[in-house]
Amino acid sequence: MRFSQNVVMALAFLGISAGPTFAQAHDKEVEAVRAADAAWMKVYHAKDLDKSLSFLDEQGSMLVSNSPIATGKDALAKAIARDFAAGTLTWHGNKAGVARSGDLAYTSGIYEWVLNDSSGKTAIDKGKYLTVWKKEADGSWKVLYDMFNSDLPAR
């Protein structure tokens, strides 16, 4: 009986001390990834190439529609510059998940892209995206993979 009570008390103690601490730390990481996603959108929307590039891991990849995969700084800079030239992009995350170990995460959501038509008119593209994030040695979240595609019928 004494033994069982001790076990119950020990479990209760672990539940109180470790449970919320892990959950709080985890919630904080989910918020950090959501914040990184929103901060990346802000500099991408403002067409700041250097700052947009800085959100990607050194081995990060962008998987752009109708274009081969872009991996590494030079290819990513070209891919981002093409996006900037094509129009103005806004996105909004609606899902985020982080591994228990806090080293890998994803975000997903919707985008709206105001495209510069060659005739001078603007067209609006809408679609969805998926981003995989990696926790760097300095504690920041960086993009390992980013991909988006259109909801609209193929033209």
Please tell me whether residue 144 binds its own copies under the rule CB under 8 A.
yes
| Interface with its own copies, residue 65, by CB under 8 A | yes
96 near 37, Cβ under 8 Å?
Answer: yes
Q: Indicate the residue among 101 and 118 with the shorter CB distance to its own copies.
A: 101
Q: Which amino acid is at 56?
A: L
Which range touches its own copies (CB under 8 A), out of 14-22, 30-38, 81-89, 144-152? 144-152
Residue 128 CA to residue 109 CA, distance in Å, equals: 6
Q: Applying CB under 8 A, does 79 fall inside the site for its own copies? A: no
Q: Supply the minimum distance, in Å, between the C-beta of residue 3 and its own copies.
A: 29
Total number of residues that touch its own copies (CB under 8 A) = 33
Q: Judge contact between 102 and 72, C-beta under 8 A.
A: no
14 binds its own copies (CB under 8 A): no
153 binds its own copies (CB under 8 A): yes
The per-residue b/e assignment along 90-126, b for 16 or more CB within 10 angstroms, e otherwise, is ebebeebebeeebebbbbbbebebeeeeeeeeeeebe
Show the site string, 96-135: x = touches its own copies by CB under 8 A, - = not.
-xxxxx-xxxx-x-------------------xxx-x-x-
11 three-class SS: helix
Least separation in angstroms between residue 1's CB and its own copies is: 33
